[in-house]
Amino acid sequence: MNFPSFHAAAVAEFHPAPSVDEITATRIRVAKSAPKNAGAIGVPVGTEGDVPSELGLDRATLAAAGFEGKSGQTLVVPRPGQPALVAVGLGADSERDLASLRHAAASFARAGAHYGHLAFALPALRDVSLAHVAQAAVEGALLARYRYRPLKRKTEQEPPLEELTIVSSAGEDEVKRGIDRGRITARATELARDLSNAPATLLTARHMAEIAKVVADASGLEIEVFDEKKLAELGCGGMLGVNAGSSEPPRLIKLTYRPKADGKGAGRISLIGKGIMYDSGGISLKPNDLVHAAMKTDMSGAAAILGAMSALSALGCKNAVTGYLMCTDNMPGGNAMRLGDVLTARGGKTVEVLNTDAEGRLVMMDGLVLATEESPPPQAIIDIATLTGACERALGNDNAGIMGNHQGLIDQLKAAADTTDETIWQFPLDRRLRKELDSEVADIKNIGGPLAGQITAALFLEEFVNGLPWAHIDIAGTSRVETDKTWRSKGATGFGTRLLIDFLMDFKAPEQPKAKVKN
């Protein structure tokens, strides 16, 4: 992809998504044996059973060196004049799945961080196709080697991954299919990571729209961009209210993917992503600590959708998808919305603002209403957002939260989460808490009480979906990590990108009427 250059006082030229080019440049192939010019060869070893003979060590020797084969463990065995061998833990037989394999490949890629050419011996997983195994291995290795480097002047010691050889003696064609899909999904995730890692002064809502145009052209997507004038014509009071304190104008970016064979069975899904390019909290200013430095990632939901939709054409997705990226800053300028203000959402519903730091739901409500107005209407609406600190406090950084009004739809998303290791935990959409959103002066207020904030936020969003099957994914805790962790590299994780891809590829229209949600 040829991205435009963006200019700022401190940086002469800034490439917003450098890893897209890097991951394309990585050569990935399948071979029956590891090449002699590889820097390191990864050999998966479980906690039980025979040790692969190519490692040249028995279990007692491995144990003496502190290696037990636990998931993610590594032991580097240097060999003069030959590629280093790296024992990589797979865990117990009962633990082996795509997640543990992806973790093993990621651990190996980091253990061999000083090598530009790696080889990984592909293990077999019970009841899992070689294509899925190869895809997980490629995803783990590529995502683990991700680093955000466009603003660094010094050359790092860790070279880019130039070549990855997947070693497999069987199913070459199937392995190649997995490799191709793994590259596509990893590339989409790295696009989302790049955008979320970019400083907010260099990646504004306007720049996000320019990038989306380049991505759309390269990915077979239709794109329409709405500026502040068009947003006013649409009556998107949430977007305009949140943007009021910013010197940067907002952008609503609408992306449309139409399958080549838009047949009878094609599903219709709408995605809405929170794209707060920088969130100061507005008048309800956030505490003066390092949380501010992380607020450039408050657009991770929009980034995940752009990343996911960039992969649909290459993967041959058979379902039609529309994405709404709701992009703006939330700043405390002289014209900023104040506590007690009343905004009018697209469709006419009035909202009393009692916390300007509960801004994500205000931009999302306009997108949700626009999705319901599509003709024909979508069979499912999914929103994804770094929405609430309450969700992060409840689940930490490993699980996203999910709520919705249709259990069948939620179950499809949970299945995609399990496959991709982008795990989600379902909270009850407990409507007994809905009264906390009652307002004396408007139809609804934008915050509830001090407890269960993730649930009251979802109940607020539900007000705008017009009864259509809908699910809300809160990625507040999973959008970034402070240290390398499994396939997630330090910084923005791109969480939700692969989950959405898997969900969109396998989507089946939910049965009507809507199923009862488990509480």
The catalytic residues are 286, 361
Reading the block at residue 376, the tokens are 């024909």
Reading the block at residue 242, the tokens are 């949140």
| Number of C-beta neighbours around residue 157 at 10 A | 7
The phi, psi pair for 293, rounded to 5°, reads: -65, -25
User: Given phi > 0 = left and psi -120 to 50 = alpha, else beta, which region is 127?
Assistant: left
- SS3 state of residue 238: helix
The contacts found for 3-7 with CB under 8 angstroms, 24 or more apart, are 3/211, 3/214, 4/210, 4/214, 6/202, 6/203, 6/207, 6/210
Could you tell me which of 191, 198, 74, 85 has the C-alpha nearest to residue 143? 191
Cα–Cα distance for residue pair 437/224, rounded to 1 Å: 33
Burial class (CB within 10 angstroms; exposed 0-12, middle 13-18, buried 19+) of 408: middle
Q: Read out DSSP for 347-397? A: TS-EEE-S-TT--HHHHHHHHHHHHHTSSSPPSEEEEEE---HHHHHHHTT
Are 487 and 144 spatial neighbours (Cβ–Cβ below 8 Å)? yes
Reading the block at residue 152, the tokens are 């660094």
* CA 79 centroid distance within chain: 39
Cα–Cα distance for residue pair 449/352, rounded to 1 Å: 14
| Number of C-beta neighbours around residue 18 at 10 A | 16
Instruction: Reply yes or no: is the peptide bond before residue 513 cis, omega within 30 of 0.
Output: yes
Cα–Cα distance for residue pair 366/242, rounded to 1 Å: 12
Are 334 and 283 spatial neighbours (Cβ–Cβ below 8 Å)? no
Reading the block at residue 275, the tokens are 């794209």
